[in-house]
Amino acid sequence: MNGESMRFSEKWQTAFEARDRPAFCNLIDDDFEFIRHLSGTALGKEEIINIWTKDGPRPERRDYRIVYENDELLVSHQFIHFPNGSSESVLVVMLLKNGKLTRMETGATPMPS
């Protein structure tokens, strides 16, 4: 499937798994905001790309699934297992405009060990 006919979620998943900086730069709007609810802060495009593309171990994602997707919204769910042994159930909401990610928010619930 070529890049034009792929759903945003497929492009996103491919970029995430490969830690593909150029792909992220093409998928994320310059005015992007990642909302961090715990701290009440937001990260911009470059900050989040640096996090997603850095070398080294990363938390393990399990049971990733798309809950809903259209041209304006992508909702996914996954379980994240961290190197320290903790895990969370994470719901991700992505707002899309003109095929680019403009805003992302997550809701996380700690899971029992």
What does the radius of gyration of the chain's CA atoms come to, in whole angstroms?
A: 14
Q: Map tokens 């995430």 to a residue.
A: 16
- Tell me what pLDDT residue 3 has: 54
pTM: 0.88
What pLDDT digit, counting tens, does each position of 35-77 carry?
A: 987 777 899 999 999 999 998 888 899 999 999 999 999 999 9
* pLDDT at res. 37: 76
1 has pLDDT over 50: no
Question: For 74-83, what is the mean pLDDT?
Answer: 94
Domains (ranges, CATH) in the chain? 8-111 (3.10.450.50)
pLDDT, tens digit, 9 for 90 and up, residues 95-113: 999 999 999 999 889 999 7
